[in-house]
Amino acid sequence: MQIKNNDAMNTNKENIFHISFVPIFQLAECEENSRAIEIFDYIAMSGRMTEFENEGEQYLKCANINPQAKALTGFLINSVKNETKMKLYYSNKLLPRDLRACLEHFKKTATIKLEPLEMVENKSSFDSIPETFSNFNSSLLKKNEKFKRYFNFLAGQLSDHFKKTSKNNINSSRLIIIGTSYPMFTNFFAFLSCLGIKTTWFEFFELSRLSIMKSQFKLSDHSDISLRLNRISKVIKEQNENSKNKIKIVHLFPKFSHYEIEDYYFSKNIEFPFLSLEYTGGGTLSERDRIRLESFVKI
């Protein structure tokens, strides 16, 4: 179901949102937070991504900035105009600085309450978790009700993707999707389904799944690029050993952001077919994006 306009938000009571990345265990710690909708997931579902990006760009008076910053700013401006009451949770340690800078413009807005969440580091480790890395499938998605609650639109896209690729040819490529920011391409998984390509590991989902339990998640799982490379390399090794299918990696990230530096690091250190797919705005894959992605998975 798509929300066609911002009026779909409840104007009589406070709407609760959060901005990725916030560990799910923090959102679930109180009843109010458990109603929090991920803000980019909501924007994607609204069908107004481009509109918000354009409005945000005009307000910020800068074209060459992270399109997530544009979309966030445009959405908040629209909410202020509609006098929509909103509480917005974010992580002081995990929210990128450009998005935090956007929030500064709305600190004194009467209808928007900004709520930073502090996280105390624990001694858990991704490597200590016994569950296999390469089990991203419809069954795993169904088990994670909290992910579906906070990422309703994305969970729906993934569910449809699994249904359409469940009977793929065993010799087709297997795709590993990396990136720690919310995937802004609203038709990415639908396009993969059209190509008949299975997604066998999705870093953003895996981080969200791990963050359901406080004992299983630590900040470095998200922010330590060396640890992430080690994790991704283990996934690739495991899948390469257990399958005859070709393993390929796609990195999803927004352009004009620190993620571009991460992309260079990963592309130089991953020795498997690697595609950098940067989101420049517009909500969907451009014609150029579709050509690059199709060529990459089929060659």
| 180 and 246 inside one domain | yes
| Count of the separate structural domains present in the chain | 2
| 91 and 207 inside one domain | no
Cβ pair 144, 167 in contact under 8 A: no
Q: What is the C-alpha to C-alpha distance for residues 117 and 158, in angstroms, rounded to an integer?
A: 28
| 94 and 132 inside one domain | no
Q: Where are the alpha helices (DSSP H) in the chain?
A: 24-27, 39-46, 49-60, 67-81, 97-104, 138-143, 145-150, 152-165, 188-195, 203-210, 219-223, 225-242, 259-269, 287-298
| 76 and 133 inside one domain | no
| 157 and 101 inside one domain | no
Kindly report the backbone phi and psi dihedral angles of residue 8, in degrees, each rounded to the nearest multiple of 5, phi listed first: -65, -20
- Stretches where the chain sits below pLDDT 70 are 1-12, 31-33, 120-135, 168-171
Q: What is the C-alpha to C-alpha distance for residues 95 and 107, in angstroms, rounded to an integer?
A: 16
Domain carrying residue 203? 126-298
Residue 85, H or E segment: none
| 35 and 102 inside one domain | yes
| Domain assignment of residue 1, yes or no | no
pLDDT digits 0-9 by tens, 215-257: 888 899 999 999 999 999 999 999 888 777 789 999 999 999 9
Closest CA to 66 of 98, 91, 19: 98
| Domain assignment of residue 196, yes or no | yes
Closest CA to 197 of 233, 235, 171: 171
Choose the final residue of a domain: 89, 117, 145. 117
Q: What is the C-alpha to C-alpha distance for residues 190 and 183, in angstroms, rounded to an integer?
A: 13
According to DSSP, residue 139 is labeled: H
| 231 and 284 inside one domain | yes
| 112 and 143 inside one domain | no
| 60 and 140 inside one domain | no
| 274 and 166 inside one domain | yes
Q: What is the pLDDT of residue 168?
A: 58
Choose the final residue of a domain: 86, 117, 148. 117
Closest CA to 205 of 129, 126, 151: 151
| 148 and 171 inside one domain | yes
